[in-house]
Amino acid sequence: MSGIDITVVGEDGTSRPVEWEDHQNLLDALLANGFPVLATCGGNASCATCHVFIDPEHIDASGERTDAEADLLSMIDDVATEHSRLACQTEFVTEMAGATVTLKAGM
């Protein structure tokens, strides 16, 4: 088992390092590190409570949005940006090492 180091900026604006392990998607990593992500739909791309922003240098590395994810993000386009992902749909890739993930305030 191996992992990568990322930085997570919490809803209160403070950041801390997080180890993202290769068997986890991003939502799993956030929950395992104690971030209060509601994840109301249980990771099925249908609630958007796991909405995060990926820093500009790593958004491409985070992969393509799934169809369901793209649909959901388009429904919250008042807050979603080109740097938005659903953490539950963001799979581990080593290219995300060093990324900064910002939690959406009010999740």
Interface residue list for ligand FES (CB under 6 A): 27, 39-41, 43, 45-50, 86, 88
Give the Cα separation of 98 and 48 in Å (integer).
Answer: 24
Closest distance to ligand FES from the beta carbon of 63 (Å): 15
Output the CA torsion 36→76→52→81 (10° steps): -160
Question: Taking CB positions, which residue lies at the least distance from ligand FES?
Answer: 88
Question: In the complex with ligand FES, which residue's Cβ is closer, 6 or 27?
Answer: 27
Q: At CA 86, angle to CA 83 and CA 92, rounded to 5? A: 90
Give the nearer residue to ligand FES in terms of CB position, either 76 or 98.
76
Q: How far is the CB of 49 from ligand FES (least distance, A)?
A: 5
- Helices and strands (H, E) in the chain, number of each type: 2, 5
